[in-house]
């Protein structure tokens, strides 16, 4: 089945140690998104790629970066994780921008120790 896959399911990283989260899709969708959901809060968009065009949300910290080397893969890099970055990170795709359905991965839960 076509899907969005996130690896790993759980990630533990040390305070200040760079970490990369991975997302891949088999849907050939144009748009890939990264959302952050902290405990008891709503998922919040960090950035998205429309094809190779990167769109950063204004309030996304500089500590968060993203790469999309090809249509299928998108990475979230956290350069120096802090305790406040512990969250569920959700990757999603959509065929195009606008009112299209999003397809989500099952998320990576990041713990910072």
Phi then psi for 24, rounded to 5 degrees? -135, 155
Rounded to the nearest 5 degrees, what angle is found at the Cα of 94, between the Cα atoms of 84 and 25? Answer: 80
User: Shortest gap between Cβ of 72 and another protein (angstroms)?
Assistant: 17
Q: Which is nearer to another protein, 57 or 77 (CB)?
A: 57
Q: Using the structure block, give the residue that is written with the tokens 């748009």.
A: 31
Contact set for another protein, span 53-72 (CB under 8 A): 55, 57
Tell me the C-alpha distance between 110 and 113, whole Å.
10
Q: Which stretch binds another protein (CB under 8 A): 18-26, 31-39, 61-69, 70-78?
A: 31-39
**How many residues lie near another protein (CB under 8 A)?**
29
């Amino acid at each position: 089945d076509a899907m969005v896959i996130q690896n790993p399911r759980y990630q533990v990283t040390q305070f200040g140690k760079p970490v990369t989260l991975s997302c891949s899709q088999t849907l050939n969708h144009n748009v890939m998104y990264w959302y952050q959901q902290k405990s008891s809060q709503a998922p919040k968009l960090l950035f998205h790629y429309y094809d190779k065009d990167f769109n950063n949300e204004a309030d996304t910290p500089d500590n968060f970066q993203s790469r999309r080397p090809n249509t299928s893969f998108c990475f979230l890099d956290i350069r120096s994780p802090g305790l406040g970055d512990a969250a569920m990170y959700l990757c999603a795709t959509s065929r195009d921008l606008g009112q299209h359905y999003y397809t989500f991965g099952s998320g990576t839960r990041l713990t910072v120790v």
